[in-house]
Structure 1
Amino acid sequence: MPDNSKHIKIIEVYSDIAGHKKGASLGLDALRNSSKELDSTYYEKFETENILHENNAFEKPSEFEHAKYIDKIYLVISRLAQRVKKLREENLFPIVLAGDHSSCAGTMHGLKMAHPNEEIGVVYIDAHADIHSPYTSGSGNMHGMPLAVACALDNSESKINEPNKKEKEYWNKLKYLVTNEPSIKPENIVFCALRDYEGEEKVLIEKYKIPTYSVEEITFKGIQNVVEEIFKKLSYCKHIYISFDVDSIDPLYVPGTGTPVTNGLSYEQAMQLNLELIKNEKVCCWEMAEINPLYNNNKDDSKRVFKILEKVTNNLLKYY
């Protein structure tokens, strides 16, 4: 069997400044420790590289109220976008392991840079919609904004804030990092396990008719049927990106995340959903984010998340 490991590149993004709790950056080392404890050779088999983070920004309060640390987050997202672009141009498969989920805006921008004239679909496995903007966010935490960044959505019809001039400048730079067009079309998104979102986000979901698979629907229809429907919906997309936030899993099974939400996927459902999705030849990038070992019940929680990473990667080797 040919060694396909050289076609996969692991990108580690230790950034932890976009969430409301610290600790997500620790998730990446928790994965490495879990690999060692399970006698896995995962990190010896695959090349890894780090994106320079800006976590020292936490030492001072952000000067921005409605998009906290947007100046630093802009730097991280820009760096990640350039790396994803380069890897895709080399026909490599990026696996992005991230701290907070704001990083996925950089991943999506990078995919658009690499595939400027082709449709890109997004399967977003998350308890949250992450489609707020500085105009609508109640917290100003940017891990709730990556889809709005990639889709260039202000959602002005639901406006509750008035960002200052500098915030608006950074926000527009983030939205149009690639071109003067959105990197992702909102109608090219499919949500899985979504269950905790605000009215401002609901407006966009309904406006763009974004398909949303609840945990109940996934359970009722079964993983394989849901995956078939997802790829049928995104059949016109040449490339598909999967973004997996571990808070999509019920905290009963994986409590180690900064924003846990009950009534989520079972551990087995999360595993199987990712394993089935990764089989499709259109999938060009997979990302996992928001692992926070500070909230684990015990160290085995991180091991369970690592097993998803390892099994998804092994499945990818069969199909990429």
Structure 2
Amino acid sequence: MTDVMTNIRIVEVYSDVAGHKKGASLGIDALRASSQELNAEYYEKLQFDSIKDDSNKYDEDYEGESQFSHAKYADVIEPIISKLAHKIKDIREENKFPIVIAGDHSSCAGTMHGLKMAHPDAEIGVVYIDAHADFHSPYTSGSGNMHGMPLAMACAIDNLECQRNELSDAEKAYWERLKFMASDEPSIKPENIVFCAVRDYQEEEMELIKRHKIPLYSVAEITKKGISATVAEIFKKLEYCDHIYVSFDVDSVDPLYVPGTGTPAMNGLSYEQAMQLNIELIKNEKVCCWEIAEINPLYNNSKDDSTRIFKILEEVTHSLLNNY
């Protein structure tokens, strides 16, 4: 098994500037601490890379505001997403499987751009497990927080039909770079997305979901169908895709089980559902990348919260090792 584990690369993304609460970048080291406390030797057995915010402008003590209103900290976020995209490209070109452990969920735009760079002619599917749709653009976002925009970045969607904001020239320039980082076309087609557990969204995002007929499996529907049947339907929907990316935001889980996240939403998945959903998804041979994001230990009830999330990471990796 040790030889097989060289086929997996962990990429840690230490950034939380795209969220409205700090602390998500601390989740990465909280998982490391949980691994040590459990004597899991998870990190000793795997290769890993780290991507950090090198700007030094928005550290723990920084109290300033972004110069941008509708694409907050785009000048910091853009190079982080670019570095991640090129890292994912390199890992995939080595025919290895990237597991991304990220701070805020804006990172997944970089992951999707990287997959497009590595597989430019492929159909790439996305299974997006999240409480939120993350389909805003700077033109539609009420907050300007870019952790709510990664799918719009990857799909290169402005959603001007629902426009509420006028952007500065600088914001427009950064947004264009964030959309077309991999090529001069969108990295992901919206019709190649499947949502799971999304329940906290704005009307502008729902307009896109309806316009592109994106399947959305609610928590109630997942509970009624069961995990196995839900996963089978997801892969039937994405059967024409060559590669599939699974993105797991921990706020998809009900805060009763995992309170440690920056944007909790009630009526989420149970802990067992989240565990089983990710384990079953990772078994499919088309899945080429898995990401976990938005672990914020500042909002934990106890350190056991991070330990529960680490166990999902560990079990998903074990499932991957048995099937990759």
What TM-score, normalized to structure 1? 0.99
What does residue 295 of structure 1 align with? 299
Q: 1:84 and 1:57 mapped to 2: Cα distance?
A: 26
Q: Deviations over 1:234-268 (max 9, x none)?
A: 00000000000000000000000000000000000
Q: Is the 8 A contact 1:54 1:73 kept in 2?
A: no
Q: Distance in 2 between matches of 1:117 and 1:49?
A: 27
AA matched with 1:99: G
**Cα distance between partner residues in 1 of 2:92 and 2:108:** 15
Which residue of the partner structure matches residue 210 of structure 1? 214
Distance 2:214 2:72 in 1: 27
Structure 2 counterparts to residues 19-168 of structure 1, below 5 A: 19-54=19-54, 56-58=56-58, 59=62, 60-168=64-172
Q: How does 1:238-249 map to 2 (within 5 A)?
A: 238-249=242-253
Q: What residue number does 1:175 align with?
A: 179
SS of corresponding position for 1:77: helix
Aligned: 1:284 with 2:301: no
Q: CA deviation at 1:52?
A: 2.6
| Cα deviation 1:164-197 (Å, max 9, x = unaligned) | 0110011001101111110000000000000000
| Large movers: runs of 4+ above 4 Å | none
2:270 aligned with 1:266:
yes
- Which residue matches 2:230? 226
Instruction: Supply the distance in 2 between the matched residues of 1:122 and 1:25 (Cα, whole angstroms).
Output: 23
Alignment check: 8 A CA contact 1:246 1:291 kept: yes
- Structure 1 gaps, min length 5: none
1:8 maps to what in 2? 8
Contact 2:24–2:296 (Cα < 8 Å) also in 1: yes
Contact kept? 1:99, 1:289, Cα under 8 Å: yes
Count of residues in Structure 1 that have an aligned counterpart in Structure 2: 320
Alignment-derived partner of residue 188 in structure 1: 192
Most deviating of 93-102 and 171-180: 171-180
Identity of aligned residues (%): 70
What is the deviation of 1:3? 2.6
- Structure 2, unpaired ranges of 5+: none
Q: 2: distance between equivalents of 1:271 and 1:79?
A: 29
Distance (whole Å) between structure 2 residues aligned to residue 4 and residue 137 of structure 1: 43
Q: Distance in 2 between matches of 1:245 and 1:191?
A: 12
- The answer as to whether partners of 1:17 and 1:55 remain within 8 angstroms in 2 is no
Measure, in 1, the Cα distance between the counterparts of 2:55 and 2:306: 22
Give distance in 2, aligned partners of 1:128 and 1:73.
Answer: 20
- For 1:236 and 1:55, the matched residues in 2 are separated by 41
**Shift of residue 57 of structure 1?**
2.8
2:2/2:45 contact within 8 Å kept: no
Q: Deviations over 1:60-94 (max 9, x none)?
A: 31100000000110000000000000000000000
Letter in structure 2 aligned against 1:100: D
The AA in structure 1 aligned to 2:6 is: K
Q: Which residue of 2 aligns with 1:199?
A: 203
